[in-house]
């Protein structure tokens, strides 16, 4: 999709602070350091819209980015970071499950998994949260540039089996591999599943 405008709107914890103008949300969920910020930057052809960092576990709020005055990208806090306390972990779980339970304009989640590894216990947990809330999701396998094409093919098969879904898209924020396919899937999904009063048909030209 041609990005005309991509801007940070708000960091929120409380649902009262979520944007309320009715545009559809595409939410990104995954372990700390899996490549969420890099994916958001890559999809929006931006270097620094979502701050990327080598220090995991920092983003503990929900960040909303508005894209082309058509949709929101929602960066959920990263989970599974070993160094956070039990109390912080519980807070994160609440922030995420609150969002997933109550956000009305939610249309799709992108669940990020590192292409080099099998889904972790916390990835499977995130998948269960999505299923429990009947929230549809696509899986994006990040950092695919770190694997050979053979290795990647094997990993895609293994991860599909481990998650029990075929909706798996390999991606590289470094090379842009997977970008066209992912945008196409996102726009198709929004166009068929979002019906707000202000529903605006989005072009699926990328
Ligand atoms: N090689 C490679 N590195 C990546 C890719 N995506 C993210 N990274 C690196 O992984 C680290 C964590 O990325 P970040 O986007 O901050 O992860 P987040 O914590 O999930 O938001 C950074 O050092 C990124 O440069 C990718 O597609 N390929
Ligand atoms: Mg991040």
DSSP at 180: H
Ligand 1 atom, smallest distance to 173 CA? 27
Q: Exposed (0-12), middle (13-18) or buried (19+): which is 189, by Cβ within 10 Å?
A: middle
Residue nearest to ligand 1 atom 28, measured at CA: 143
> Residue 41: is its pLDDT beyond 50?
yes
Residue nearest to ligand 1 atom 16, measured at CA: 52
Other Cβ atoms less than 10 A from the Cβ of 60: the count is 14
| Residue-level pLDDT at 47 | 87
Tokens encoding 190 = 């929004």
Average pLDDT for 155-183: 96
**Counting ligands in written order, which one lies closest to the CA of residue 31?**
1
Architecture of the 6-193 domain: 3-Layer(aba) Sandwich (3.40)
Most confident of 59-63, 84-88, 119-123, 175-179: 175-179
Which residues form the pocket of ligand 1, taking CB atoms under 6 Å from any ligand atom?
Answer: 30, 32-38, 52-54, 56, 78, 142-143, 145-146, 172-174
Residue nearest to ligand 1 atom 8, measured at CA: 35
Q: Which band of pLDDT confidence, cut at 50, 70 and 90, is reported for residue 198?
A: very low
Tokens encoding 114 = 């590192």
Q: Is the pTM of this model over 0.85?
A: yes
> Residue 55: is its pLDDT beyond 80?
no
Determine the Cα–Cα distance for residues 54 and 139; give it in Å rounded to an integer: 22
Q: Exposed (0-12), middle (13-18) or buried (19+): which is 110, by Cβ within 10 Å?
A: buried
- Residue 142 φ then ψ, to 5°: -85, 165
Ligand 1 atom, smallest distance to 31 CA? 20
**Per-residue pLDDT tens over the stretch 56-115:** 555 678 999 999 989 999 999 988 777 778 888 888 889 998 999 889 999 999 999 999
| Residue-level pLDDT at 57 | 52
To test the pocket of ligand 1, the residue of 33, 35, 50, 171 to mutate (highest count of ligand atoms within 8 Å of its CB) is 35
Percentage, residues of the chain above pLDDT 90: 68
Ligand 1 atom, smallest distance to 40 CA? 15
Q: Ligand 1 mean position to 163 CA, how many Å?
A: 22
Q: Which band of pLDDT confidence, cut at 50, 70 and 90, is reported for residue 51?
A: confident
To test the pocket of ligand 1, the residue of 77, 120, 173, 177 to mutate (highest count of ligand atoms within 8 Å of its CB) is 173
DSSP E strand stretches across the chain: 6-12, 25-30, 62-67, 71-75, 106-114, 137-142, 168-170
CA 151 to chain centre: 24
> Residue 149: is its pLDDT beyond 50?
yes
Domain ranges for the chain, please list them.
6-193
More confident residue, 22 or 53: 22
| Residue-level pLDDT at 80 | 78
Kindly tell me the sign of the dihedral angle through the C-alpha atoms of 95, 17, 112, 78: negative
Q: Which band of pLDDT confidence, cut at 50, 70 and 90, is reported for residue 206?
A: very low
| Mean pLDDT score across all residues of the chain | 89
């Amino acid at each position: 999709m041609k990005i005309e405008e991509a801007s940070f709107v708000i960091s929120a914890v409380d649902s009262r602070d979520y944007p309320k103008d009715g545009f559809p949300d595409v939410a990104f969920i995954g372990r700390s350091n899996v490549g969420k910020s890099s994916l958001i930057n890559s999809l929006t052809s931006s270097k620094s819209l979502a701050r990327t960092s080598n220090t995991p576990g920092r983003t503990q709020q929900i960040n909303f980015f508005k894209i082309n005055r058509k949709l929101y990208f929602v960066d959920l806090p990263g989970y599974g970071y070993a160094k956070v306390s039990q109390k912080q972990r519980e807070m994160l779980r609440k922030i995420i499950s609150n969002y997933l339970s109550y956000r009305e304009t939610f249309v799709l989640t992108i669940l990020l998994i590192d292409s080099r590894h099998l889904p972790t216990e916390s990835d499977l947990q995130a998948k269960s949260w999505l299923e429990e809330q009947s929230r549809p999701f696509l899986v994006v396998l990040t950092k695919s540039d770190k694997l050979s094409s053979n290795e990647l093919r094997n990993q895609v098969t293994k991860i599909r089996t481990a998650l029990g879904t075929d909706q798996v898209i390999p991606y590289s924020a470094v090379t842009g591999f997977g970008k066209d396919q992912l945008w196409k899937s996102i726009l198709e999904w929004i166009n068929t599943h979002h019906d707000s009063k202000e529903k605006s048909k989005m072009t699926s030209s990328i």
